[in-house]
Chains A and B, each alone.
Chain A
Amino acid sequence: MSKFATYETTLRDPQHLVAALVAMGYEHVECSAEPQALYGYEGRERPEKAEVIIRRQHVGPASNDIGFAKNPDGTYRAIISEYDRGRHGDTWLGKLKQEYSISKTMAAGRRRGLVFSGRETIGTEVKLHFLER
């Protein structure tokens, strides 16, 4: 073996962020270059804005919009209301990062022209295998 490395995923690419949300079952995800208003469960505009949004009707009953707002350093932070954190808390955000990493890894493999040789799920871990000729 030549090298082994670990890293923490940061949500930085909106394309992979949207792909991750779609993989988690959110088929209607808005993505804009400019931040858009978020709305609460009663339809009232909230003070927060975000570039990537799941509208409340696609989040769940009595939910608020979930947004991902771009930080000055280019990363995205999740904007999730207190009410929605019950179902969209740390575990949900971890799963989102996992799906984001899968999308990012598959894209890196395609860019390098690697042969994708398989995917395994072992417990909560996902393993992706590539070959380079």
Chain B
Amino acid sequence: MKQINVTIGADGEVSIDLSGYKGKGCDKVLSDFLGDDKPTRVETKREYHQAAETAKEVQKQ
């Protein structure tokens, strides 16, 4: 199950936590939530890299 948890602070700062997405699938979701706002920080989590590595392995075979 893909989950999106959004935390909005009292000053309007927003944190978006996307989980369950693999590869670049979450970039579009993030972009939809950001709209015209620019992120001040983006961290890519481990499963993002895992999916990219898996894709490379499949291509090699």
Is A5 interfacial (CB-CB < 8 Å)?
Answer: yes
Measured CB to CB, the residues of B under 8 A from A are 1-22, 25-27, 29-30, 32-48
Interface of chain A, helix or strand or loop or mixed? Answer: mixed
**Chain A residue at smallest Cβ distance from B5:** A129
Q: Is A12 within 8 A of B36, CB to CB?
A: yes
Question: Chain A interface: which size bin?
Answer: 35 or more
Q: Is B37 within 8 A of A7, CB to CB?
A: yes
Q: Is B1 within 8 A of A9, CB to CB?
A: no
If A100-B12, A108-B35, A131-B1 touch, does A3 touch B21 (CB 8 Å cutoff)? yes
Q: Identify 12 residue pairs between A and B in the complex whose beta-carbon atoms are under 8 Å apart, listed by A's number.
A: A1-B46, A2-B48, A3-B26, A3-B45, A4-B16, A6-B40, A7-B16, A8-B37, A102-B8, A105-B14, A126-B7, A131-B2
- In the assembled complex, how far is the CB of residue B39 from the closest CB belonging to chain A, in whole angstroms? 5
